[in-house]
Structure 1
Amino acid sequence: MKIGIDGEVLVIHNISRDFDDLYECLVDNGVPPALTKSTRVIVEFPPEVVVERPRVGQFIGRKTVLECSVYAYPQYLVVWKRRGKQITSNKKYTVEVDSNAESRLVTLRLIIHRVSRRNYGKYTCEAKNDLGQGSSDAVLYEIEAPRTTSTTTTTQATPATASEKNARVLKNTEHFVSHEQPGLHLQVNKPGRSNSSAANSIPTKPYSEKHDPGVGGPRKAKPVFGGDFNRRRSSSTRLLAASLLIVTLVFAQFLFL
């Protein structure tokens, strides 16, 4: 790239580190070959420290890297500091340095192998030479691990309707009669429905007539409910209990309705 104007002298005004480079002087009088002469301009400047990621988030227990770039000439000292103290390589940290003399660039990496709560906070990348010093900060902050939530499903029982309650009472009643009164079956219709016959309420076995050898005439017929009925309680007590149960059931049906 051609700079300046034709002449024997090149003057660079307001020089900065961007002018640190190789310059070539070309002499050509029209008669080949042209002659060239190169010279290197070295610019000395104080450190310029750049942290590309000033804020770095990481989970506890993970590995993380803090990195800074330092432009300076001459290079003298580049370090990472934590609370004013220089960090060196050990079991917790590793410090790596990459240098490019051509571009006057030094890259300094601080590797934290396993982040703990004590590692969160501010870190400082610091550089200095005979012309000055510079620094830049990086903040390591905690990223909270996602919390697992458990979902509990609650099933609420639906209240039984009046018809369901009536059916449950009838079932329990039939169970009681079938176990306590062999040969006796009860059936109670819901209000508003008429019984087809009286036999639907309390059907029993027919009366039988037996003749007493000591008496000439027939005796009163006795109800026979089962083969072993005479060995249990009297039939009158059984019928009374069944009648009370029927009355209680009918009353309960009206309450549910």
Structure 2
Amino acid sequence: MLELSKVSSGYGKTEILHSVDLEISKPAVYVVLGPNGVGKTTLFRTVAGVLRPFSGEVRLGGNDLYADNKLRHEIGYLSHLHALPEEMTVAGALGFYGKIEEGKAQEAMDRIGLRDIAMKKVGDLSQGQKKRASIAKLFLRERKLYLLDEPTSSLDPVVAKEVRDLLLELSKERFVLYSSHNLYEAQEIGEYIVLIKEGAVAFFGRKDELRSKGYHVGIRASADLGGVIANGRKEKEYFVVMVTGPQEVGEIVKRVVEAGISVYEVKEMGNPLEDLFTGGLS
């Protein structure tokens, strides 16, 4: 279990995270969403044991992360920067980090598909290749918790999917926190969503819980619906309104028909995750 209790964190005298509470108790992929600059990386650095919080506690397995340095060995952290020596080959660098366990370097390279660049120097790799090598480093040993800060940025679509598939398999027994501002990725891989806004947790829950918070439907009708439906807006040929489920949609359509207006089409507009990300859900 990972637990953050009233955690405030930042750099120098600047506070980026403000009294964050978060409790993660089930092995799964938790996608940490939010625009750039809202505190995702600060959160990851704090949970990884790299950035001591100003206040509050970070607990792993019930123990204070910053009171027991051994706990940090249970965490695998991939930052948005690669962390392998530029002058070493990929195989050499991974062998150096994985030398305590026989065969782990080769196994890690096989999992991420690095055989083709194993003998290249890290400094000669493309950004995508460096990212793949850094991900392989993350899997040199088993961890309880994996933190991946935008792991698929700069990867081609095929490799990105392979990484997501690997993390989904890993999440059956491990905790995986995965930061992104890519809504498609969040929908593909995330069982749980953690939305960070202005340094605080704005939403935390299962992805399928978002729908219960509301979603938008568009109604195309024979007349303007502004006088029939409150709190809606005109969007091209549709009148868009927030609803909480099919029953409410049916009630709205009934009201429109009873007002003598023909309904031509009703369709869902956007998706709940996009609405949450852009601030459309309350």
Structure number with bigger Rg: 1
Same fold (TM over 0.5): no
More helix by share: 2
TM-score (structure 1 length as normaliser):
0.21
Instruction: Name which structure has the greater RCO, CA cutoff 8 Å, separation 6+.
Output: 2
Normalised by the length of structure 2, the TM-score is 0.19
